[in-house]
């Protein structure tokens, strides 16, 4: 029996022409997707997923850390701002009782605040 040269045979087949004749829509219509899904073992697939590496790739951990940091810093900002407000309230009363003008008081140590006592009022008026 003469041997058949499969490679030569395949070379002569025009695959593009065959694909053109295939009605893909019709094939899809014939597929029972529900039955296909029923046969898929989702648990097995999930077991094979490397969640840790996925977390690293999606930077989900970083997103969670960022949002937590945001909430913490916002809370700190509010607490500190409340503190400054109360500081001012008590300082105002102390100044009133001691009959002294806030403008005459130094704002801070000389190397940290470059405003001389007495200029604070002028500065706040300008602002």
Handedness of CA 13, 16, 20, 26 (dihedral sign): positive
If the CB atoms of residues 54 and 115 are measured against other proteins, the closer one turns out to be: 115
Q: Nearest approach, Cβ of 85 to other proteins (angstroms)? A: 4
125 DSSP 8-state letter: H
For residue 84, which phi and psi values (nearest 5 degrees)?
-60, -40
If the CB atoms of residues 53 and 111 are measured against other proteins, the closer one turns out to be: 111
Q: Nearest approach, Cβ of 88 to other proteins (angstroms)? A: 7
b/e string for 83-99 if b means 16 or more Cβ within 10 A? Answer: eeeeeeeeeeeeeeeee
Q: How many residues bind other proteins (CB under 8 A)?
A: 30
**Contacting range for other proteins; rule: CB under 8 A; set: 19-27, 33-41, 57-65, 111-119:** 111-119
Q: Please give the structure tokens belonging to residue 18.
A: 């065959």
Q: Is 106 in the site for other proteins (CB under 8 A)?
A: yes
For residues 58 to 87, the per-residue mask of contacts with other proteins, x marking binding by CB under 8 A and - elsewhere, is ------------x--xx-xxxxxxxxxxxx
């Amino acid at each position: 029996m003469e041997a058949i040269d499969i490679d030569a045979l395949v070379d002569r087949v025009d695959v593009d022409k065959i694909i053109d004749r295939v009605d893909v829509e019709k094939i899809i219509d014939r597929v029972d997707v529900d039955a296909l899904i029923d046969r898929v073992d989702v648990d097995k697939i999930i077991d094979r997923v490397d969640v840790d590496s996925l977390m690293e790739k999606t930077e989900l951990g970083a997103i969670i850390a960022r949002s937590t940091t945001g909430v913490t810093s916002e809370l700190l900002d509010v607490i500190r701002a409340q503190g400054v407000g109360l500081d001012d309230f008590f300082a105002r009363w102390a100044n009133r009782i001691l009959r002294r003008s806030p403008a005459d008081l130094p704002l801070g140590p000389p190397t940290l605040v470059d405003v001389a006592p007495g200029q604070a009022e002028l500065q706040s008026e300008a602002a």
